[in-house]
Amino acid sequence: MGTPGSPATLVMGVLNVTPDSFSDGGRFEATDAAISHAHRLVSRGADIVDIGGESTRPGAERVDPAEEMERVLPVIRALAQEGVVVSIDTMRAATAEASVAAGASIVNDVSGGLADPRMAAVVAAADVDFVVMHWRAHSATMDAHDQYVDVVREVRDELAARVDALTAAGVRDERIILDPGLGFAKVADTNWPLLATMAEWSGGRRVLIGASRKRFLGTVIARPGVDAGDPARRDHATTAVTALAAQAGAWAVRVHDARASSDAVRVVSAWQNALDTTR
C-alpha cells in the first residue's frame, strides 16, 4: 500500500471476549455470541479477527490467567477450524502459547513482550507474527506515564529497544509488526504526531494502527451537537484514520467497524492504482 504493486492494508476486526462485551448468559452463551460476532466481522470484510480476553481500557484491572484462557480458547478453536485468520490479543506467554496451539497465527501483545518475560521465547518457538505495541505500564497506572518531550523520538527508541531484545531472544525480525499504541500512556494530542510519522518510527517494518473508537478521536470531533463521548460515535473518524493509514502504507488497521474500514481500504487502493497507471 502506498507504493506501486504493494498489497492493500488488512482489516483486523476487534473481538473482545470480556464480561462487558458478552456477559448476558453463561460461558457457553458468551462463546457462542463471540463466534457469531466474529462471523459478522468476517462477512463485513475483516481479514483477521483479533481475539482478546482481557480489557486494556485505561484503569482496567488484570484478569485471572485461567479465566482469560477459558474466554478465548474455545472461540479461537472454532474460528481457526473454519479457516479464519486469528490473532490473540494477550500479554501472557501461557495464553499466547495455548492460543497458537488452538490455531491463532498472530500474537498481538499490547506490552510488546514487556509484561511477561517468557513471551519472547514463546513467540520465537512458535515462529508466528508478533505485534509489538508501544507500552509503558499496565492499564491501571499507564496515565502516570503519558509525558513525552519528543513523542516520535521516544516511541521510536522504545520500540527499537523492544525489537533488539526480541530478536536477541530469537524472534525473527520479519515476524515483528510495530504498533504505536495509540491511547496507551498517551494524552490526546500525542497520538497525532505518531500517526503522521509512520515511516520515521517503523524502520521499514510492517505497521498496525489501532485508533478505533479511541478517546483522542472524540477530542477531535467534539463540537456542539456531537456526543463525542460515545465510542460508537467515533466510527466515522476511525474510518478517516483507516484511509489515511492505508495511504501511508500501514500493514493493517485494528477496528470495531470492519465494513467501513474495508470500504475505505478499497477506495485507497483504487485511488493508488489510478495514480500508478496514469503516471
For binding to ligand PMM (CB under 6 A), which residues are involved?
14, 16, 56-57, 89, 108, 110, 131, 133, 179, 182, 208, 210, 213, 254
Catalytic status, residue 254 = yes
Nearest partner of 49 among 26, 18, 83, 24, judged by Cα: 83
- 131/185 with CB nearer ligand PMM: 131
Q: Among residues 254, 259, 266, 279, which one is catalytic?
A: 254
- 61/278 with CB nearer ligand PMM: 61
- 179/235 with CB nearer ligand PMM: 179
- 181/272 with CB nearer ligand PMM: 181
Catalytic status, residue 186 = no
Spatial neighbors of 136 by CB under 8 A, at least 6 apart, are: 142, 145, 158, 184, 185
Nearest partner of 197 among 174, 218, 178, judged by Cα: 178
> DSSP letters along 193-233, please?
HHHHTHHHHHTT-EEEE--TT-HHHHHHH--TT--TTSGGG
Q: How far is CA 136 from its chain centroid?
A: 16
CB of 252 to ligand PMM, least distance (A): 9
Q: What is the C-alpha to C-alpha distance for residues 110 and 166, in angstroms, rounded to an integer?
A: 14
Nearest partner of 110 among 188, 214, 32, judged by Cα: 214
Cell for 138?
499496565
CB of 138 to ligand PMM, least distance (A): 13
CB of 131 to ligand PMM, least distance (A): 5
Q: Among residues 214, 223, 259, 279, which one is catalytic?
A: 214
- 13/74 with CB nearer ligand PMM: 13
Pair 21, 14: CB distance under 8 Å: no
CB of 183 to ligand PMM, least distance (A): 7
At residue 160's C-alpha, the angle toward residues 158 and 165, to 5°, is 95
Task: Using CB positions, name the residue nearest to ligand PMM.
Answer: 210
Q: Which residues are catalytic?
A: 214, 254
